[in-house]
Amino acid sequence: MAPLRVLLIDDEEELVSTLVERLKLRGFSVEGVTSGADAFGRVQEKKFDVVVLDMKMPGLGGLEVMRRIRKEQPGVKFVLMTGRGSLEEGEEGMQEGASAYLLKPINIEGLIEKMMEAVRV
């Protein structure tokens, strides 16, 4: 089976590089970006199975990024990441069709579990 294609979007560069590295070690095909604008460029170039998206980012917020990516790739699944301050946004994201949302700090095993559940649905 081909590896799951994952796009990771978070404005915290260190978090992105750490998660990308850890997911690659577990056999995922992962790309990480630090802004919604960079994400739009990637989704126009490549197809992804799952987008892991931070809800709170400077500029475009997570919900708007999710809506725009969905227009480009209607079948893509979303797993949202949120800090305690944006729980409402996580719930709003679920209402808009995200598969799951996780609280930061992110547990890598929990993230993998949610990504796998998202694509099985």
What are 89-105's pLDDT values in tens digits? 778 889 999 999 998 99
Say whether 74 sits in a helix, a strand or coil. coil
% residues pLDDT > 90 (the chain): 77
pLDDT at residue number 83: 79
pLDDT at residue number 69: 97
The CB density around residue 66, as the number of other CB atoms within 10 Å, is 24
User: Residue 82's pLDDT band (boundaries 50, 70, 90)?
Assistant: confident
Structural contact between residues 112 and 23, judged by C-beta atoms closer than 8 angstroms: yes
Please give the single-letter amino acid code of residue 81: M
In whole angstroms, give the CA distance from residue 12 to residue 68. Answer: 21
Q: Is the pLDDT of residue 108 over 70?
A: yes
pLDDT at residue number 89: 78
Mean pLDDT of the chain: 93
In whole angstroms, give the CA distance from residue 74 to residue 54. Answer: 19
